[in-house]
Amino acid sequence: MENIRESHMQLKKGHRLILFPLPLQGHINPMIQLANILYSKGFSITIIHTNFNPLNPSNYPYFTFHSIPDGLLECEASTEDLTLLISNLNVKCVEPFRNCLAKLLLDALDEPISCLISDVVWWFTEEVAKGLKLPTIVLRTNSICSFLAFAALQLLLDKGYLPIQACRLEEPVHELHPLKVKDIPVIKTSKPEVLQETINKMAKQAKACSGIIWNSFEELERDALTTLAKDFVVPMFLIGPFHKHFPASSSSLVTQDRNCISWLDTQAPNSVLYVSFGSIAAINEAEFQEIAWGLANSKQPFLWVVRPGLVNSSEWLEPLPDGFLEMTGGRGLIVKWAPQQEVLAHPAIGGFWTHNGWNSTLEGLCEGVPMICLPNFGDQLINARYVSNVWRVGIHLENNLDRGNIESAIKRLMVEAEGQELRIRTLNLKGRVDLCLRGKGSSCQNLEHLINYILSF
């Protein structure tokens, strides 16, 4: 962080940016990384955050924080229905956000506030900021290819793909090549109409705002970007992968178990499969047991993140098969939460079994780690399809999550020639990531454009 501080002082622009992350782990991480990037380029940073999943300001001494009441009832804050959580946050935060932003603008005497940078899933922010004469740039924390699929949901409904019929799962979706019907990013919710409303409002805001920042890079998503630009005529800034602009920094809401790093130090290079399904995905007990048996039967070393809450209606490891720990002791380690970026960069890691959240997908690609894809819902389905069929750096576990398939996928990835091919391709992509972040690389250039654009407001 000292380096960031130094470059901030050297480049100090006397302009302040207000950032508003969506309070979910997979959205907080990229927004904080973006804050670090823009701070290192000389901007001052103010972050507005909610009481729900609040950030700890003492972890970010260079930023200014303002907390707003989100007004969520206890039952609303603890719901597993992500759609309803997001909708409630959007309804209840409008007034507190408007009041906070208005006050910040009134008090901004020493440094002008250039713009608001809001997660696009906060669908009301552009309109509120416009009312206060402040431009808004939105951050989309997912891939462009998944954004395209979300934006096309109404079309897919009109064309009869939705609701999804079990007999059509393997059919191609011609409008969204190479997706299959089973990849359409549905999210389970008790109120599907609220999901569609959320997506419509998000897309509307993305069209109305002054620009969109993507945690992606041109070499990876050029085709998707071209398609998107036909419909979304706003400046686009692909400046990712954000986390590679600096050495690993953490904005984890949960304490990371660092013991796994010293355990990895004792393992052979490229030998360990890292297994993690992110901060939200949930599986049932039967699936958890198949995963456990697959890991045990594969005989490969593994580091497995079992987040409390991963298995529906379980506290933590109770559903593990009897004798699992004895069977795998020595070659397997289970933790509740890991320092993931550091884990993926560790030389002992040879594969990543992931749910394909966008952050995890990018983090794996950036370290040249080939994947096993087990998407759970939403954008993960699309990321997994691209990882396996377009970028061809992963094995898609798409049919029957049973121990036999899992054992075979792990062996294919970790010990067979197929895994070696995937590894070479992933390392190739890693090379392109490294280039895009250097001097005249696309993400570096786009970042310069973004800075000049913000300074032009």
- 218, 220, 340 from 445: Cα distances, Å: 11, 16, 28
Least Cβ distance, residue 202 to ligand UDP (angstroms): 16
Residue pair 83/195 in contact (Cβ under 8 Å)? The answer is: yes
Q: Is 305 in the site for ligand UDP (CB under 6 A)?
A: yes
Least Cβ distance, residue 356 to ligand UDP (angstroms): 8
Nearer to ligand UDP, 113 or 344 (CB): 344
Nearer to ligand UDP, 234 or 345 (CB): 345
| Phi, psi at 313, each rounded to 5° | 50, 35
Least Cβ distance, residue 349 to ligand UDP (angstroms): 13
Nearer to ligand UDP, 32 or 422 (CB): 32
Integer distance in angstroms from the first to the last C-alpha of the chain? Answer: 28
Among 1, 7, 25, 401, binds ligand UDP (CB under 6 A): 25
Least Cβ distance, residue 333 to ligand UDP (angstroms): 12
DSSP code for 73: -
Of 22-30, 78-86, 97-105, 295-303: span binding ligand UDP (CB under 6 A): 22-30
Least Cβ distance, residue 260 to ligand UDP (angstroms): 9
Angle 85-127-151 (CA atoms, 0-180°, nearest 5)? Answer: 60
Residue pair 344/433 in contact (Cβ under 8 Å)? The answer is: no
Of 24-32, 51-59, 204-212, 389-397: span binding ligand UDP (CB under 6 A): 24-32
Near ligand UDP in 239-298, by CB under 6 A: 252, 276, 278-281
Angle between helices 442-455 and 417-436 (to 10 degrees): 40
Nearer to ligand UDP, 30 or 301 (CB): 30
| Residues ≥6 apart with Cβ < 8 Å to 61 | none
- 188, 294, 307, 405 from 275: Cα distances, Å: 24, 12, 11, 16
Would you state the structure tokens that stand for residue 139, as one six-digit string? 């951050």
Between 331 and 360, how does the x/- string for binding to ligand UDP read (CB under 6 A)?
------xx-xx---------------xxxx
Least Cβ distance, residue 256 to ligand UDP (angstroms): 6
Residue pair 340/260 in contact (Cβ under 8 Å)? The answer is: no
Least Cβ distance, residue 359 to ligand UDP (angstroms): 3
Q: Is 450 in the site for ligand UDP (CB under 6 A)?
A: no
Nearer to ligand UDP, 210 or 359 (CB): 359
User: Which residue(s) pair with 44 in the sheet?
Assistant: 16
Backbone conformation region of residue 64, classed left if phi is above 0, alpha if psi is from -120 to 50, else beta: beta
Backbone conformation region of residue 313, classed left if phi is above 0, alpha if psi is from -120 to 50, else beta: left
Amino acid present at 138: V
Nearer to ligand UDP, 127 or 342 (CB): 342
Least Cβ distance, residue 302 to ligand UDP (angstroms): 14
| Phi, psi at 37, each rounded to 5° | -60, -50
Between 361 and 400, how does the x/- string for binding to ligand UDP read (CB under 6 A)?
--x-------------------------------------
Would you state the structure tokens that stand for residue 362, as one six-digit string? 């990018």
Binding residues for ligand UDP, rule CB under 6 A, total 19
Nearer to ligand UDP, 43 or 337 (CB): 337
Least Cβ distance, residue 381 to ligand UDP (angstroms): 12
Show the beta-strand stretches assigned E in 216-339: 236-238, 272-276, 302-305, 332-335
Residue pair 101/206 in contact (Cβ under 8 Å)? The answer is: no
Nearer to ligand UDP, 48 or 338 (CB): 338
- If one counts every other C-beta atom within 10 angstroms of the C-beta of residue 285, the result is 13
Nearer to ligand UDP, 128 or 366 (CB): 366
* Residue positions counted in the chain: 457
Of the candidates 132, 57, 64, the one whose C-alpha atom is nearest the C-alpha of residue 94 is 132
Would you state the structure tokens that stand for residue 207, as one six-digit string? 């069209």
Least Cβ distance, residue 27 to ligand UDP (angstroms): 7
Q: Is 53 in the site for ligand UDP (CB under 6 A)?
A: no
Of 23-31, 57-65, 214-222, 366-374: span binding ligand UDP (CB under 6 A): 23-31
Nearer to ligand UDP, 135 or 394 (CB): 394
DSSP code for 47: E
Nearer to ligand UDP, 117 or 280 (CB): 280
Would you state the structure tokens that stand for residue 201, as one six-digit string? 């409002």
Q: Is 26 in the site for ligand UDP (CB under 6 A)?
A: yes
Q: Where along the sequence are the contacts to ligand UDP (CB under 6 A)? A: 25-26, 29, 252, 276, 278-281, 305, 337-338, 340-341, 357-360, 363
